[in-house]
Amino acid sequence: MTDVEWILHVDLDQFLAAVEMARHPELRGKPVVVGGKGDPTQRGVVATASYEAREFGVHSGMPLRTAQRACPDAVFLPADNPTYEEVSERVMAVLRELPVVVEVVGWDEAFLGTDTDDPEALARRVREVVRERTGLECSVGIGDNKLRAKTATGFAKPGGVHRITEREWMPAMAHRPPDALWGIGGRTTKKLAELGISTVGALAAADRDVLAARFGPTMGPFFRVLAHGWGDRDVTAMPYVPKSRSRETTFQQNLTDRADLDEAVAELARRVAADVVAEGRPAARVAVKVRFAPFVTQTRSTTLSAPTSAADQLERAALEALGRFDLDRPVRLLGVRAEFEPPAEGGADGHG
């Protein structure tokens, strides 16, 4: 782990769609939607949309059917996770050849730590080598901490370079809504609006006690910290290690019978258990996601008495978590996630 002069955030543009276009060049310039089984007549959600599809309002998390209505001419493709993982590993290997510390935080993004005197030149070099070696485009944000670097990437997209430091933070962010901040979503933004806080600048000036009363003693003041652009400067050169393994399925017909739900969760849990065994690390917690019709999603979880990879124990924990839901509405999606123990001090961190 190191404290560096500059932090670069590298984000592969429209990653999944870009991988598909690289192996299917005839798709370039067309609206491409990746997600589910690639069939918009079936249930599933958008994993990634190309920029051409985004112009029609298609975005990640949108139901495939809605995406097709928004963009009838889009090309729909099934997600191919093994290929995306392989391409991601190639990109990260290229980044590690540069004079930087590389912290991988997902398939399509990484933080780079560097003491260069010219971060823009390095960022342009990053874009160049990634394009030359992998054929993919990326955007690079430059900052004096991780939050500002990642925020800068949003200004750099697509295919650009942008810098935000403490000096540029408020001029760039003060007038923007709170969900422009990394870590604040739409629901929190609505709750902030109820307090009369509708911009990052207003959040930065908000009273800590008021925020703590509304969002809790930890998260409330933390939102104010985000609004000021304060954040972590440590970049850790460790391999990407998933925090969890998960499986989910969207049903073509809503499930209403409890026995059917139990059977589906048990099957998902067994598949997750196989993933856990392959990962070589025991799970410490099991979570179940239920999406009720039409589109309300809830999650419940169970902490295991001891970390395990045993399929029967993970299945039992998943069924216990399912039992914590009020299953009084039709179910359109179920998911099971096994969460690993946090790494030991000095270990790797990542996203599952």
Q: Which residues are catalytic?
A: 109
Of 289, 292, 284, which Cα lies nearest the Cα of 309? 284
Task: Give the residues across from 7 on adjacent strands.
Answer: 113, 143
Of 333, 327, 183, which Cα lies nearest the Cα of 246? 333
Q: Are 162 and 143 in contact (CB under 8 A)?
A: no
**Residue 36 CA: distances (Å) to CA of 21, 41, 80, 202:** 17, 11, 9, 40
Task: Give the residues across from 48 on adjacent strands.
Answer: 34
**Residue 73 CA: distances (Å) to CA of 41, 43, 70, 76, 274:** 14, 18, 9, 9, 38
From the number of C-beta atoms within 10 Å of its C-beta (0-12, 13-18, 19+), residue 99 rates as exposed
Of 63, 60, 18, which Cα lies nearest the Cα of 41? 63
